[in-house]
Structure 1
């Protein structure tokens, strides 16, 4: 069953809505969105079916605006609207799903283990802030070596600027970005260029403004509370139909928009104690949409450090393909910056990063000072490709008081070291837009709500969030136009000076990752991780049958000498971030390495050898 308005062709449209607590439901057809008026408004009653579904097939054309009328008086937009051209409070609009001509019939996707992901926010990635404006940047991303972009949420939110996590119409594409046609145009172009598209979706809450689901049925439950209020009803009475709404949404993105993977926001805030959890059912649904030549993926964001998220259903897991690995980011960030406040209190030692390289999770049952309890379990049976790692992302940058990127927290050598730590890891790497050239513009939190009380509540909430980190300064106003304008990328920096050198360094790392078998093979079992005693340094030995590599990292602000022995063989240096080629102070590590060679690394540097 397809929810919402589904255009069947020949001037016929089917309307389906779930409203189990209503005595009557009608569709109110309004003027056409293209400016041509209907001969008169039409109010057409829907027929009630099983489990509170209402449905009718009637004459209506694409572009027609409509609302549902509930119990003869209350008019609301469609909860499964495919387009809200006038915003969250306006009427919904009929879309013809077959009007777009796809040109990606030969697309077979990118295997997860081969992805180099680039996270971006549509509104700030370009000056125009639209889907079509991204097209002009695809050649730059391809040249860099990117083969997958991850879009922050694009579901319709209030106003025209937002991170996307305040979306209230999960099926509708944000009108200010270009609506459904704009998103299809972007995905089509990406596939033709060889780039996969990952879409960030939010199934743990809906935003407060324009959220009319309450008027239709028990989409929410008071059994649990989330940071955003009442939890979505995934295990209470009538939850089967709530699940169907979100399962259908996932299928909608993957089928109708040819999306390659879904990134699920904060699955730890999805409360569900049923025997078959929604997240497990979701993985089953996505699996039915994959075949032998083209697999779709689910990538979860979770702070549970619970391997059940990515374990197969046959082993009691939820069956998701991968998850964001925050532990890796935190271990790397604290070594680079020295920050220890908030959740960073659990990190800071070189052994934390070493543990992340060994198993993804740093905390797999150990005691967490920040949480004041043991945290996590061991992902010993999970594959390396199931962990997505980064040194920056929208959360870790945007949830700082001033939205500082890593480029404002560490020096130039530290930026190259961070790049090497991520891109030479045995995990799936992700970059945050602008990171590759050291963008210095902040990425701040911004909204464009229309309710004054809600705006003030958001301001207070942001100030409260920052207290644990003891950051000083005035909290930027999330509602202000300035924070949105400041957060846009400055592409003019990309080819200039050190920014251009940094981008070239990223490009070289990605090329090595693709062409070196020892780097292209993601396997934590085919590596050795060794820390330097009492020093912030470590080295990785990664191997396959045809090649071995040694990756040495120095996180100290001074040179670091590492004593042998090294793995047997003659090793040739192929990369040193301190080299003048990368605007460094000059390489001091030996060009050739043997078992008993003493190695000195430049401050804040990464060096790679191959045998």
Structure 2
């Protein structure tokens, strides 16, 4: 448990960054047990073999504790509350029998790490690949992911982002229904296999980002409320009562979250956490938990001598989330930029409806290239209010951009990927659009070879009433879409199986060609001295709204890069300012080499250039 001391008569809290204190933790001589239940009268730990029940002792902060001898890894237990109901441990490290079963004693320190020489990449060096463990391989396990790491290295990836792995009901789920934040999903292989995956990534030069959910828990197997005020009715979220971050007794939940954050970095060696929907973490305290997390993470980084990152998902367009703590911000290292995606999708022909209503294609895409946020103080018709604020001093590496991700694909009724929605030429343009940006690029698994399987919303709830509610809710959500088609049942095994990658597609010419194009373009991004720097200052973008063409100019002291993006269905002529030497082509998506029908000139002898439809061309020149 966090140690506490008095300073000037005020209780001061110091989080123990060196070791986990919640739950059941094996030691060399005895096992420490700690469970937060401030309003309960009695807590005991009971074991699956019924050999004994040991009462815990309550301290003045509501933590029930005991030191127990004779426990071993693999022992199964629950906590019994007020001599009545038995529940799994809220801070359980393993749930081998599922979310309703016994927790299992697990020794995280027993894994022998081999990544001592690993050094995390700077954020500006991240080329991110988002994957779902269950759908990434036929086996759907951590060990199976290890077998595909060389493939990702060859592609040019420098960081994998793993969708949530906290224990959820059943054996298939997106991960956002997790109910045991400290327990690694058993069907994926559990804690030690996840440690093995992270270790293997580091030995191959890959950073690991883990998606975690601190804004809610899933509906099935969520027993935190049985222990104490982990939630509050003070605020409501799309998932019900909010996580208790600023109401009475909030200190216990705040410590729960902070210790969970520390565990992933310290005990699993992950390099970054992607924090799901931080705007749903309702916290109006004088010390917002996100800011506190950053400050404590800095302590851990100093202790381990390793850099770590916090990457937020936030739809508020509020710079305070990524502003430094020294300047009064929350100190998140980076954030996702959904608005870049929305503007990009409308640019390639996505209808401007739903949450795309506000977006005007290339005009707004140009603004996102310049300013990250499209809405930074303007009126939003979709929201019916003025929205957002400007980001000025923030570096390009603080923004993650993408043409698709799990949300943007999976939240479509039929889960269609870009390969199903857009032409081959547009798929190549979409990749180029994110790689020439001054931001941090992210791919979604399978897009690099044009995966045609959908990525559907899937769950495996064991409670029939809940499963039925999820199915009907999904159908109701999309009742006006796709004519007579019906939303797939998230609970069916087939819905999950249809969402798995088809690795066999790489043997087909068209898919292999796209894959090679991705490899070459990513290599340009990583090796070109201009493209690899997320520099928002040495960057210009101009647009031809009617022609649907954007021209991006990036430069350093001696050279310039020009990227010409044509989102129109016909070609257009543009003018490039001449430099000290002719513009020389780096890559052209319309070239026959990449399955196109129009080879772009290798060198421009004039200032004019005819740009083919649905294409991106990148040129380089010395400055005057």
TM-score bracket for this pair, using the shorter chain length: over 0.9
Is the contact made by 1:554 and 1:606 (CA closer than 8 Å) also made in structure 2?
yes
- 463, 480, 499: which one pairs with 1:487? 499
Match for residue 154 of structure 1? 165
SS of aligned partner of 2:273: strand
Match for residue 163 of structure 1? 174
In the alignment, does 2:340 pair up with 1:322?
no
Match for residue 438 of structure 1? 450
- 36, 44, 56: which one pairs with 1:46? 56
1:349-360 aligned within 5 A: 349-360=361-372
1:430-579 aligned within 5 A: 430-466=442-478, 473-565=485-577, 569-579=581-591
SS of aligned partner of 1:517: coil
Change in 2 beyond 3 A, CA 1:479/1:186: same
What CA distance in whole angstroms lies between the structure 1 residues aligned with 2:237 and 2:184?
25
What CA distance in whole angstroms lies between the structure 2 residues aligned with 1:431 and 1:72?
51
Match for residue 22 of structure 1? 40
Larger mean CA deviation between 385-394 and 305-314 belongs to 305-314
- 597, 620, 623: which one pairs with 1:585? 597
What CA distance in whole angstroms lies between the structure 2 residues aligned with 1:558 and 1:469?
30
- 589, 602, 607: which one pairs with 2:612? 602
Deviation of 1:315 (Å): 1.8
What CA distance in whole angstroms lies between the structure 2 residues aligned with 1:234 and 1:470?
41
Is the contact made by 2:415 and 2:454 (CA closer than 8 Å) also made in structure 1?
yes
TM-score by length of 2: 0.94
Larger mean CA deviation between 330-339 and 218-227 belongs to 330-339
What CA distance in whole angstroms lies between the structure 1 residues aligned with 2:490 and 2:583?
52
1:372-387 aligned within 5 A: 372-387=384-399
TM-score by length of 1: 0.96
SS of aligned partner of 1:285: helix
1:411-430 aligned within 5 A: 411-430=423-442
What do residues 134-169 of structure 1 show as CA deviations (whole Å, max 9, x unaligned)? 011001000000010000000000000000000000
What CA distance in whole angstroms lies between the structure 1 residues aligned with 2:255 and 2:365?
41
Deviation of 1:97 (Å): 2.0
Match for residue 34 of structure 1? none
SS of aligned partner of 1:542: strand
Change in 2 beyond 3 A, CA 1:472/1:235: farther
What do residues 154-199 of structure 1 show as CA deviations (whole Å, max 9, x unaligned)? 0000000000000000000000000001100100100000001000
In the alignment, does 2:208 pair up with 1:197?
yes
1:296-311 aligned within 5 A: 296-311=308-323
* Structure 2, unpaired ranges of 5+: 2-20
Larger mean CA deviation between 445-454 and 405-414 belongs to 445-454
Match for residue 8 of structure 1? 27
In the alignment, does 2:413 pair up with 1:394?
no
Is the contact made by 1:352 and 1:362 (CA closer than 8 Å) also made in structure 2?
yes
Give the total of aligned pairs. Answer: 600
Change in 2 beyond 3 A, CA 1:443/1:471: farther
- 364, 380, 398: which one pairs with 2:376? 364
Is the contact made by 1:76 and 1:212 (CA closer than 8 Å) also made in structure 2?
yes
Is the contact made by 1:30 and 1:42 (CA closer than 8 Å) also made in structure 2?
no
Deviation of 1:359 (Å): 1.4
What CA distance in whole angstroms lies between the structure 2 residues aligned with 1:95 and 1:77?
14
* Structure 1, unpaired ranges of 5+: 32-39
What CA distance in whole angstroms lies between the structure 1 residues aligned with 2:500 and 2:516?
22
Change in 2 beyond 3 A, CA 1:238/1:470: farther
Is the contact made by 2:426 and 2:615 (CA closer than 8 Å) also made in structure 1?
yes
1:245-260 aligned within 5 A: 245-260=256-271
SS of aligned partner of 2:61: helix
What do residues 480-535 of structure 1 show as CA deviations (whole Å, max 9, x unaligned)? 11110000000011242111111111111111111111111111111110112521
Larger mean CA deviation between 93-102 and 387-396 belongs to 93-102
What CA distance in whole angstroms lies between the structure 2 residues aligned with 1:102 and 1:546?
44
Deviation of 1:285 (Å): 1.6
Larger mean CA deviation between 94-103 and 288-297 belongs to 288-297
What CA distance in whole angstroms lies between the structure 1 residues aligned with 2:514 and 2:296?
41
Q: Over the residues paired in the alignment, what is the CA RMSD in angstroms?
A: 1.5
Is the contact made by 1:46 and 1:55 (CA closer than 8 Å) also made in structure 2?
yes
What CA distance in whole angstroms lies between the structure 2 residues aligned with 1:149 and 1:51?
39
SS of aligned partner of 1:431: strand
